[in-house]
Structure 1
Amino acid sequence: MAKRIEGVTEKLLECAKEEFLANGYENTSLRIIAEKAGYTKGVIYIRYPDKESLYRALVEPVADGLCNYLKNALEGFKALPGEVQKANERSYADEGFQKFFGYIYENFDIFKILLMSGETKVYQEFLHRLVEIDTDCTTKFIEQTNNDAFSSGRLTPELAHILSYAFYSGLFEIVIHNMPQERASEHIGKLRKFYNTGWKTIFEGDEAEQVNGERGSVS
């Protein structure tokens, strides 16, 4: 077997990033990527059997990194006793989300490729993983804090999925619209506040609805 030359894969991925970012998935040519990297198209096929494999090699490590961060953060939260979760839920979420948000901007170009290249299968797989991790934590939180959101019917697994999917889809609009980080932070803060109010109603029931109604009438 021929020995692979060091640095070739990195150069191919660098050129692939430029092409996917500029042209989208469908209009990106493996031949042009190879030429820009200074190699033949065959060099790509030694490493990647097709364009999707090259695309996945570029975006999946970053997507996996975000999913793994979310999973590890929420696993740590789930390991806390129920009373500690209830007392620290907001501060824990705020601290964790800042790191989550920062990771997106550290890898902004890759997320832009993932969201806007026109290759939807990998993005949907990624979004499904985020939602699955998130809804699992919500379910465990409800169980460990003896909340009656499910038993009362205020929440169902289907609704939990819809809410989580809508939140993360909305969050990634900051990438789609190429928002500067400071402006995006303001918008996401408002988005989280909106969702937190809704979740408070689901978790606390009629009492929270009454309080929110009174606040609405004052404004």
Structure 2
Amino acid sequence: MKNEKETREKLLSCAKEEFMEKGFQNASLRQICSRAGVTTGAVYFFFKDKDGLFSALVEPTYQGVMGALIHHLQEDMEEDLATYVHKPGDHDPFVEELIHVLYQNHDAVTLLISKSTGSKYEHVIDEFIEMIEKNFMGLSEEYARSVPGKQLNRPMVHWLSHLSIMTFVHLLTHIKDEKKALRFMKPAMEHLILGWMNFILEDKEK
């Protein structure tokens, strides 16, 4: 049992190096196994295939990020935008939670957002954007109905959803330190929230 556990961990370690260096699509199972000192049969025994090996590295982090986003979106759904008054720092707990998840698992997140082409995770950024957009489209439609003479600006909601996720992607690729990332993201989140509040509605077409 100990040898099996050690072999599995060695494969994961060598696979992470290979995936980080070459990305999923160009990574070689043969090279991973050579680094780990095992045959390719070990990969099929523990992980079934290359996709399974990649999943073992990124799935827990993927679930952690999804969980943080879903928790945040559920809280937002409980807000009444018609009476909501934004206060600076309202979203700090969410920012702190998500930044911590992202930076405690920085390598796995890097694999997800920039090394996953060819794997089942290759559209993960679009998946996050779609989830944000779907949630805020519903919330914003309800808000629009409460404001006379206004309607939902759908292209703006789509753009802001995209911008929200890509801000985190930018953060991860340019700032390596968690504390510095948090200092950057708190005011960035304020900017995003004000964008939502000020621009998701437009005058009704006559």
Q: Partner of 1:17 in structure 2? A: 16
CA distance in structure 2 between the partners assigned to 1:109 and 1:185 by the alignment: 18
Q: Partner of 1:174 in structure 2? A: 171
Q: Give the TM-score, by structure 1 length.
A: 0.73
CA distance in structure 1 between the partners assigned to 2:120 and 2:51 by the alignment: 9
Q: Partner of 2:66 in structure 1? A: 67
Q: Partner of 1:213 in structure 2? A: none
RMSD of aligned alpha carbons: 3.4
Partner secondary structure for residue 86 of structure 1 = coil
CA distance in structure 2 between the partners assigned to 1:106 and 1:181 by the alignment: 8
Q: Partner of 2:96 in structure 1? A: 98
Partner secondary structure for residue 153 of structure 1 = strand
C-alpha contact (below 8 Å) 1:59/1:114 kept by paired residues: yes
Aligned residue type for 2:186: G
> What is the deviation of 1:18?
2.0
CA distance in structure 1 between the partners assigned to 2:133 and 2:91 by the alignment: 14
Aligned residue type for 2:132: D
CA gap 1:94/1:105 in 2 versus in 1, 3 angstroms:
same
CA gap 1:45/1:22 in 2 versus in 1, 3 angstroms:
same
CA distance in structure 1 between the partners assigned to 2:121 and 2:147 by the alignment: 30
Q: Partner of 1:164 in structure 2? A: 161
> What is the deviation of 1:47?
3.5
Aligned residue type for 1:103: V
> What is the deviation of 1:51?
2.4
1:194 aligns with 2:180: no
Q: Partner of 2:180 in structure 1? A: 183
> What is the deviation of 1:77?
4.1
Q: Partner of 2:127 in structure 1? A: 129
C-alpha contact (below 8 Å) 1:116/1:176 kept by paired residues: no
CA gap 1:69/1:155 in 2 versus in 1, 3 angstroms:
same
> What is the deviation of 1:193?
2.9
CA gap 1:155/1:62 in 2 versus in 1, 3 angstroms:
same
Q: Partner of 2:137 in structure 1? A: 139
Q: Give the TM-score, by structure 2 length.
A: 0.76
CA distance in structure 2 between the partners assigned to 1:54 and 1:85 by the alignment: 48
Aligned residue type for 2:99: F
Aligned residue type for 1:197: L
Which one is further off, 53-62 or 163-172? 53-62
CA distance in structure 1 between the partners assigned to 2:115 and 2:147 by the alignment: 39
Gaps of 5+ in 2: none
> What is the deviation of 1:173?
1.3
Which one is further off, 101-110 or 132-141? 132-141
Q: Partner of 2:4 in structure 1? A: 5
> What is the deviation of 1:150?
11
